[in-house]
Every structure is written in C-alpha cells, then in structure tokens.
Amino acid sequence: MHGHLKPIRVAFLGPIGTYSHQVKPPPFGCTAAETLSRLRSISFADVFNAVASKATHVGVVPQENSIFGSVIETYDALRARDVGFIQGEVVLEVQHCLLVRHGVKQKDIQTIKSHEQALGQCRGFLAKNFPSASLEKVASTAAAAEAVLTSSDSAAICSKLCATVFDGLETLFESIQDQNSKSSLPSLLFHWLTPLPGNFTRFYVISGTRDTELPPPPDPVPGKTRCLIRLSSRTDAFPAPAITQLLTALAIPVSRLDRRPQLENKRLFHDVYFAELGCGESDSDAWPADIERGIERVRASGGEADLLGIW
C-alpha cells in the first residue's frame, strides 16, 4: 500500500470516544492522501472479524492494563484460528473520568456504568465515593457514556473526550483511576515500557495475515523483538503434555504467559496458553527462524503451537 493514494481503514471498539478510538496506530508513513479512516465495532470480536474479512487493513484491541491485568475478550478472540496477525503495539496512558447528564449530582447517582476493565481500574475511587452504588458492565466506556444521556441516577466511567462527543454530559470527577502517573512522558507511547506508576493500557495492532502489506512507520524500530505464540495440547494426545513440557520443548525464554479455557478439548480444565517472547535487538535477524524451530519442537512433543504475531 505504501505510495498508493488510498485510505488505511482501522477497526476499533466503538462508539467514538473509547480509548481504542483514541489510539492512533503508527502512521505507516502515510502521505497526505493516505489518511486513516476508522470503522466502529460493537465488540472486540467484531474488530477481529473486520480484519480477518479484509473490511479493514488493521484493527486495534486492548491487550492488558497495568492496574487490572489482561483483557479477557481479546484473549478469547485469539483462541480461534485465522483471526488476524499482530503487527505492532501501542501503549496509552488512561485517565478515567466520571461523567453524568447535565444537572445530575453525586448524591443522585445509584448506578455506575462502564466496561469491566474501567470499573476494575477505579475500584478504590468507587469504594470510597460510591460504596452503595450498583456497578453495571457494558460493552465499552463510550457506550456507558451514551447510556447515561437519558438517566438521572446513573454515571459513566469513561474518557473526558466523551463529554464533547455526547452533547448533554458533564464531568463530575477527573482522573479517578487507582494509580496516577507522575511521569512527564507523553501519554501515547509506541514501544515497550519499563513499568511506571499510573494507568496504562497496551493495545495490539492486528492485520489480516502475516503477509498483509502495510506501509512502514516513518521511524521504524530495527528488527522485530517480540512475538506471541498460542500453545495447547492436541485434543487427541494422551496423556496430554503439561504446559511445562510445552515450554521446555519451545526452549525460548517467555516474558509473559496468559491462559484461557481450551473450548474444543472434551477433557475438563485443559487450557490454551499465550506465550509472549522477547529478544534483544542484536538477535532480531535470526530470531524468526528460532521461533519457527521452537514451534516445530512443540508440535513434535504432542502440542499445538501457532504464531499469532511478531513485531
């Protein structure tokens, strides 16, 4: 696509005003005519489907939060085959606000709506200021803001941007997440971070396949230094190899490991694992070949292994 005068379509969890909407993927070196157009999706699964069906060039999905941990919906989508390929990451500093319809006071609030992640990131604030309020999980933070437009006893945890997106809302409290950053770093970061105080969410940038061609960013990072591999035991393997056996066969250091239930396995309590690997920039040229050899070793040991992304 690089050099062609075509828009780059990006799928994100909508409506407008979510943190996914505010993430700006690396601009891929776009010319003035190669603008980013955005496709709103109603769920994380829809973002993956939009990418897999080639309705968009890339999608943006949250992967983990520094306060509340992994985003379950993203890992649930990654359990399926052919859902896209991770080509990059973006880290966004998240500042939550409490929004209400104009005129609603703190004493009026009986229900607080938001995405599960946002509710979890603000547990301390909610326990202190709204101990009796009921918490309602909705599809996204912006959907929560939209929902309280017609309510005189509800509030939404979302971004401050939603107060301008949805006419009729006002901000009651700002920066209500359980940790606040004291860093002077910019709020949008494109590379891996040393942990900082504050509230940060990491997003995966996914494309349809590994071979999907995207314009390179204007300041590319030399080499690819991270990857994600999906690991599980074969459904016909007996006895099923333990995750420790699969990691031993992989024989590449793992920087983080997540798991979700393995739905297609008829045996109870067998999981699918997501192993994120990292290497130094000096090793990045030989690293893709090392990953492929590790995947073959896992398969030879009775496991399943699939490369979900390298960036």
CATH of the domain at 259: 3.30.70.260
Question: Residue 144: its pLDDT value, please?
Answer: 98
pLDDT of residue 185: 43
- Integer Cα distance of 302 and 241 in angstroms: 7
Asked, for residue 219, whether it belongs to a domain, the answer is no
Confidence at residue 127, expressed as pLDDT on a 0 to 100 scale: 97
**Average pLDDT of span 79-85:** 89
Q: Which domain holds residue 272?
A: 226-310
- pLDDT higher than threshold 50 for residue 174: yes
Beta strands in 208-285 (DSSP E): 226-233, 254-261, 271-278
Q: What is the pLDDT of residue 191?
A: 43
Residue 243 lies in a domain: yes
Question: What average pLDDT does range 13-18 have in this prediction?
Answer: 93
What are the beta bridge partners of residue 201? 65, 92
Average pLDDT over the chain reads: 87
Q: Report d(CA 107, CA 96) in Å as an integer.
A: 20
> 238 and 131 share a domain?
no
**Angle CA(48)–CA(53)–CA(58) in degrees, nearest 5?**
55
Which pLDDT score, from 0 to 100, does residue 8 have? 82
Flag whether 212 is in a domain.
Answer: no
pLDDT in tens, 227-261: 999 999 887 767 888 999 999 999 999 999 999 99
Q: Is residue 130 part of a domain?
A: yes
Read off the CATH number of the domain in which 128 is found: 3.40.190.10
Kindly report, residue by residue over 45-74, the tens digit of the pLDDT: 999 999 999 889 899 999 999 999 999 999
Do 77 and 105 lie in one domain? The reply is: no
Structural domain count, the chain: 3
How far is 308 from 294, CA to CA, in rounded Å?
A: 14
Query: Which residue, 47, 95, 54, is CA-closest to 71?
Result: 47
105 or 266: which leads in pLDDT? 105
